[in-house]
Amino acid sequence: MKTKLWISGIMLAFAGMAQVHAQDYTIKNIINGNTSTYYDYTTIKDNGGTYRGGLLYKKSTSYPQYGTTGDFTLYSKNSPLTLSTSDGSRISLNPNGGNVGIGTFSPSYPLDVVGVANLIKGYYGVALRVNSAEALWYNGTYFSWGYDGSYNYFADPITIGTTSNPGAYKLAVKGKIRAEEIVVETGWADYVFKKDYKLRTLPEVESFISEHGHLPDVPSAEEVQKNGASLGEINTKLLQKIEEMTLYMIEMQKEIEALKSAKQ
């Protein structure tokens, strides 16, 4: 009897809300207690006698859509179940797929929030989990995306310290970068040692420097200042120049040895 009175009280409150917020139906009879093999329930009907919703207590494992054994379930038949206040705040449960909406009457996802959501960090700073893994972590000072995963994946370009579009670059940083190690995967300059490589003569190099003010195949200071320098490309160019210098030194050593032999 206590349970039935408690259920009736809830349903009376529910009816009061329905009269204020749900104008589609006129409440005909709020106290309509029934019992069956599977559950005890009270229902709300419209003027046509059609069931619109109610509250039930599960007594068996049948009808899993109404919860598990021992559950109290507030339900709405073929319509969203909405909790709302006079200021327009609302929580809506969509009957199609069980979507939950906060701030919206028509949720399109399992959880659809219209407005700002505030996550309070829990145990060890965890604020959000995905498949039991820590997806969002916060310790009061800094955030971490994907704490338990092997790595973080970002499909779109990332900018740090700037809102400018990075264009074709995957990472754009305004400011200094500090790292213990950077690995660049690019081509290398060993082509200098191939037999078909056309090595400029030293007079040709001297002439190019006199005319352009920088080494051949190396960007000028103006170009680097304007467009930047690719770390991998510039290292390859510098190695190219080192290998060319090595060839020049080998050739000069041969000439020195030839001169020594001629004097003897």
Would the pLDDT of 13 be above 70? no
User: Residues 20, 97: one domain?
Assistant: yes
Q: What is the mean pLDDT of the chain?
A: 80
204 three-class SS: helix
Beta bridge partners of 112: 101
Average pLDDT over residues 125-130: 74
List, as one string, the DSSP characters of 249-263.
HHHHHHHHHHHHHHH
Q: Round to whole Å and give the CA distance between 121 and 129.
A: 11
Residue 80 lies in a domain: yes
Q: Round to whole Å and give the CA distance between 252 and 95.
A: 86
User: Residues 102, 27: one domain?
Assistant: yes
Rg (CA), the chain: 38
| Burial bucket for residue 91 (CB in 10 Å: 0-12, 13-18, 19+) | middle
Residue where a domain stops, chosen among 173, 199, 215 = 173
Which domain, by its residues, includes 167?
123-173
Q: Round to whole Å and give the CA distance between 135 and 145.
A: 6
Q: What percent of the chain has pLDDT over 70?
A: 84
Beta bridge partners of 13: none
Which structure tokens are listed for 160?
Answer: 């740090």
Closest-CA residue to 33 (of 67, 65, 6, 62): 6
Q: Round to whole Å and give the CA distance between 187 and 210.
A: 29
User: Residues 24, 85: one domain?
Assistant: yes
Q: What pLDDT shows up at residue 133?
A: 73
Residue 57 lies in a domain: yes
User: Residues 129, 108: one domain?
Assistant: no
Residue 179 lies in a domain: no
237 three-class SS: helix
How does pLDDT run across 26-63, given as a tens digit for each residue? 444 444 567 788 878 777 777 777 777 788 888 888 88
Scan for tokens 């006199």, then name that residue.
Answer: 210
Give the rounded distance of the alpha carbon of 253 from its chain centre: 60
User: Residues 39, 98: one domain?
Assistant: yes
User: Residues 90, 164: one domain?
Assistant: no
How does pLDDT run across 191-239, given as a tens digit for each residue? 999 999 999 999 999 999 999 999 999 999 999 999 999 889 999 999 9
Residue 106 lies in a domain: yes
Kindly tell me the sign of the dihedral angle through the C-alpha atoms of 190, 193, 196, 198: positive
Bigger pLDDT: 253 vs 113: 253
Residue 131 lies in a domain: yes
Residue 178 lies in a domain: no
How many other CB atoms sit within 10 Å of the CB of residue 241? 16
